[in-house]
Amino acid sequence: MPKRHIEVKTLKLAHSTDDTVRITHVEKPYGEYSSPVINIAIYSHGKDKVSEIDIPYENVEDFMKALNESIELCDSIPRNTIHDEINSPIGGGA
């Protein structure tokens, strides 16, 4: 049986107009006897693959922990609320 991709989910990337992230289960990614992986790929304009990574299922738990640690780190860094500098709920224009 050849390599087989099973799409799990496609998400729109925040802060972009039409970029997406596709999460796919891949059977036999590197040949007949290779273990399955999760493939995470970013597509520009919904069709042009920009980057991707394969994560062996054995590493998923550590990967998820690292993502959660990254979220906690991001949340711990003080930031100004968007548009605070102009004291308005929406941005201005020049």
CATH of the domain at 59: 3.10.450
Domain that holds residue 18: 4-78
Q: Is residue 55 part of a domain?
A: yes
Q: What share of the chain in percent tops pLDDT 70? A: 85
How far is it, in rounded angstroms, from Cα 59 to Cα 40? 14
How far is it, in rounded angstroms, from Cα 49 to Cα 42? 6
Q: What is the pTM of this model?
A: 0.78
Looking up tokens 């640690």, which residue turns up?
69
Q: Is residue 88 part of a domain?
A: no
Into how many domains does the chain fold? 1
Q: Is residue 69 part of a domain?
A: yes
Quick one: which of 6, 54, 50 has its CA closest to 27? 6
pLDDT band at 2 (very low <50, low <70, confident <90, very high): confident
- Quote the mean pLDDT of the chain: 89
Q: Which residue has the higher pLDDT, 66 or 15?
A: 66
Q: Is residue 94 part of a domain?
A: no
37: exposed, middle or buried (C-beta count within 10 Å: 0-12, 13-18, 19+)?
buried
Contact by Cβ (8 Å): 49, 41: yes
